[in-house]
Amino acid sequence: DAGVIQSPRHEVTEMGQEVTLRCKPISGHNSLFWYRQTMMRGLELLIYFNNNVPIDDSGMPEDRFSAKMPNASFSTLKIQPSEPRDSAVYFCASRGWTGITYGYTFGSGTRLTVV
């Protein structure tokens, strides 16, 4: 398995534009998490899904953020409209059987810059 795949790796956009981040979890993993990492706030959980159903979205900053998981192999995080304070690294992680135990696998993250 190629691991958790996130795209794009880097995104630069102008304030006010819509941004969509994408994530493909590991096949067979039934939980998916979106985290945001900034210098000031560290790693914050935005939302997570179990079996494609959103379980906890209390970390979503505001209505400008939305996340979907239409099927077990794909999730998106959308920001509309984007603002400079949204600049951060966004990580997707999935949880499931790793072959040895149940564990988390993180993607390489998307670095978002809003100018």
Partner 1 sequence: AQTVTQSQPEMSVQEAETVTLSCTYDTSESDYYLFWYKQPPSRQMILVIRQEAYKQQNATENRFSVNFQKAAKSFSLKISDSQLGDAAMYFCAYRRIQGAQKLVFGQGTRLTINP
Residue ranges binding partner 1 (CB under 8 A): 31, 33, 42-43, 45, 48, 50, 55-56, 89, 91, 93, 95, 103-104, 106, 108-109, 111
Helix or strand holding residue 31 (H, E): strand 31-38
Minimum distance between the CB of residue 81 and partner 1, rounded to whole angstroms? 26
Nearer to partner 1, 38 or 80 (CB): 38
78 phi and psi angles, rounded to 5 deg:
-115, 140
Nearer to partner 1, 65 or 91 (CB): 91
Minimum distance between the CB of residue 16 and partner 1, rounded to whole angstroms? 27
Minimum distance between the CB of residue 46 and partner 1, rounded to whole angstroms? 10
Cis peptide before 54 (omega within 30 of 0): no
Residue type, 60: M
Rounded Cα–Cα distance for residues 77 and 80 (Å): 10
Q: Is 108 helix (H, G, I), strand (E, B) or coil?
A: coil
